[in-house]
Amino acid sequence: MDTATRPAVPVIETDADALRAAHALAQDFAGEAARRDAERHLPWDELERFVASGLWGITVPRAFGGADVSAGTLAEVIATISAADGSLGQIPQNHFYALEVLRFSGSEAQKAFFFRLALEGRRFGNALAETGTRDFSRRTRLVEKDGRLRLHGAKFYCTGALYADWIPTHALVREGDQRDTRLVFVPRHAPGVSVSDDWDGFGQRITGSGSVRFDDVAIEPEWIVPFSAVFNAPTTVGPLAQIMHAAIDLGIGRAAYADTLRFVRTRARPWIDVAIERASDDPLTLREIGETAVRLRAAEALLARAGRTVDAARDAPDEASVAAASIAVAQARILCDRAGLRAATKLFELGGASSTFAADGFDRHWRNVRTHTTHDPLRWKYQIVGRYALTGERPPRHGAI
């Protein structure tokens, strides 16, 4: 659809409204999720309905007309959509990340402009991950040419860029002998912008996580947002980015668990050495389902707690509050990762061979959560949590913690 002719998008006003809209969409999205994954059918129509719900504007500050929902509500919205379709749950993650950078680093004019676009239903993708080296000439960079700023570079793992109206990207600038980073909002269809649908991961297959090239793209100064200050000062940009990743894993785990319950109740067979007629009466199966349920509930509790901690840090940001938020989100991320993976694995262990039939598409849960959980290494999250607990050392401030 031509975004210039997109119908008016309603503005969601409360957290409760956001959650209701997410649950309604989840029912819509779940029915064809297995087919979309199996056929790699890109979800253009679903994204239009997603945007038309108003959910892509829910983090816009109230001063600019949005609901400014809590971090916990945002996480639950992401988890709810991810339970219906893991790819659809991940696509807006960088959209909300860009809006959060804008909140802390954009000028008032930039906030007014881009927040209005979000409320109108414009989608922001991302081109953050670098394909080059530390060599400035091979990194994505802003340079001046004939009195105009020009963008050059290449990026990969650009989730959502394929579907975006604007593609925020990290770019280096040279200031004397120093280099700094900017977040540049680039129009998706500007001359010199090339988006390739070349994502080849075995999971999250329809996230549009391909590659992007910028070849001498003309950039207006008002599209450039300072970026380094976002992490030089204590802000909640990093924790908010990570809480959405945790929510994706939790949502996929919920979906796998729900499919496990249905399958064990209706189709799984009891083991031959157990004198029972139904697999749902197998005490070993019951034990495994019970543990999966507990782990998912624990992950939900940590995610909700992390949301409250992020909100507290946003209300009163300082070194201590932002560090506490980062640690709380890291803890939630660890448990959501583990709980999601366990749920997706146990579906096959408890369902047996018939749970692997292609017609059911249950493999998408494991492929999706396994792919997404490679995003940031948990081994580093464990060590920052341990160091904080043992020595009080605060975690580094960036988008992956």
Domain range annotation of the chain: 3-120, 129-227, 233-391
Q: Which of 99, 107, 226, 104 is nearest to 173 (CA)?
A: 226
| DSSP code, position 394 | P
Q: Which of 28, 158, 18 is nearest to 93 (CA)?
A: 158
For 141-170, how does the pLDDT look when each residue is reduced to its tens digit (9 = 90+)? Answer: 999 999 999 999 999 999 999 999 999 999
Q: Is the pLDDT of residue 337 over 80?
A: yes
For 360-395, how does the pLDDT look when each residue is reduced to its tens digit (9 = 90+)? Answer: 999 999 999 999 999 889 999 999 999 999 999 999
CATH T-level fold of 3-120? Butyryl-Coa Dehydrogenase, subunit A; domain 1 (1.10.540)
Q: Which CATH superfamily is domain 129-227 in?
A: Butyryl-CoA Dehydrogenase, subunit A, domain 2 (2.40.110.10)
Q: Is the pLDDT of residue 3 over 60?
A: no
Give the integer Cα–Cα distance in Å for 401 and 399.
6
Own/partner pairs, 289-292, CB within 8 angstroms, 24+ separation: 289/260, 289/261, 289/264, 289/346, 289/350, 291/342, 292/257, 292/260, 292/339, 292/342, 292/343, 292/346
pTM of this prediction? 0.96
Angle (nearest 5°) at CA 214 between 209 and 220: 115
pLDDT at residue 185, rounded to an integer: 98
Q: Which range among 55-59, 82-86, 230-234, 312-316 shows the weakest confidence by mean pLDDT? A: 230-234
Angle (nearest 5°) at CA 251 between 307 and 161: 90
Q: Is the pLDDT of residue 2 over 60?
A: no
pLDDT at residue 1, rounded to an integer: 39
Q: H or E element: which one contains 324?
A: helix 319-351
CATH number listed for the domain at residues 233-391? 1.20.140.10
